[in-house]
């Protein structure tokens, strides 16, 4: 660990001792941050997923609480720096993620002669997202279905335009 990171952790009273030592008021925060940092080191992402064994509801809720604290400006500069060190997305939401993937699909379509058939082998994340939209067609919000129709989304051989 770098000296800068050690100083940042010290500045928020990080508990370097064992579980039996006296705890600082920030210890629960430090424990949750450490859990997230460990997940990041293992997966190179702070987006929790069941596939990576990281879907922990307590951690997920804590992360959302930290996003709210960031929005209302109650995180310390040191805490923000620690989050930045692990590339934490303060703006993450499921809707933002869906729209980011939608825009990636539009870009893919522009670069591939209008096709929305994204190969999972070449573009695994986007390909999986596209496949999920096809499988979830009947459960997608109308606004999302409308956006996909707007770009002539190819629902696949099992789905016809009229089966909505």
Quick: pLDDT tens for 63-94: 989 998 998 999 999 999 999 999 998 887 76
Domain that holds residue 107: 94-163
Band (pLDDT 50/70/90 cuts) for residue 54 is low
Band (pLDDT 50/70/90 cuts) for residue 34 is very high
Of the candidates 31, 51, 85, which is a domain's last residue? 85
pLDDT of residue 75: 94
pLDDT of 12 > 70? The answer is yes
pLDDT of residue 103: 93
pLDDT of residue 147: 93
* Residue 32 CB contacts under 8 Å (≥ 6 apart), including other chains: 58, 59, 62
Task: Examine the domain organization and report whether 102 and 58 are in the same domain.
Answer: no
Task: Examine the domain organization and report whether 110 and 75 are in the same domain.
Answer: no
Of the candidates 33, 50, 85, which is a domain's last residue? 85
Task: Examine the domain organization and report whether 71 and 11 are in the same domain.
Answer: yes
Burial class for 154, CB neighbours closer than 10 Å (0-12, 13-18, 19+):
middle
Q: What is the number of structural domains in the chain?
A: 2
Task: Examine the domain organization and report whether 98 and 34 are in the same domain.
Answer: no
């Amino acid at each position: 660990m770098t000296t800068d990171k050690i100083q940042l952790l010290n500045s928020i009273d990080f508990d370097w001792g064992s579980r039996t030592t006296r705890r600082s008021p920030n210890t629960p925060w430090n424990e949750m941050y450490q859990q997230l940092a460990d997940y990041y080191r293992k997966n190179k992402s702070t987006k929790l997923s069941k596939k990576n064994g990281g879907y922990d509801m307590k951690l997920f809720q804590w992360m959302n609480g930290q996003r709210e604290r960031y929005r209302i400006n109650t995180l310390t500069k040191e805490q923000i720096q620690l989050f930045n060190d692990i590339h934490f997305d303060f703006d993450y939401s499921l809707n933002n993620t869906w729209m980011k993937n939608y825009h990636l699909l539009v870009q893919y379509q522009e670069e591939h002669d209008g096709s929305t058939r994204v190969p999972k082998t070449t573009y695994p994340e986007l390909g999986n997202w596209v496949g999920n939209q096809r499988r979830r067609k009947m459960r997608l919000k109308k606004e999302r279905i409308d956006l996909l129709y707007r770009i002539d989304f190819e629902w696949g051989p099992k789905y016809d335009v009229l089966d909505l």
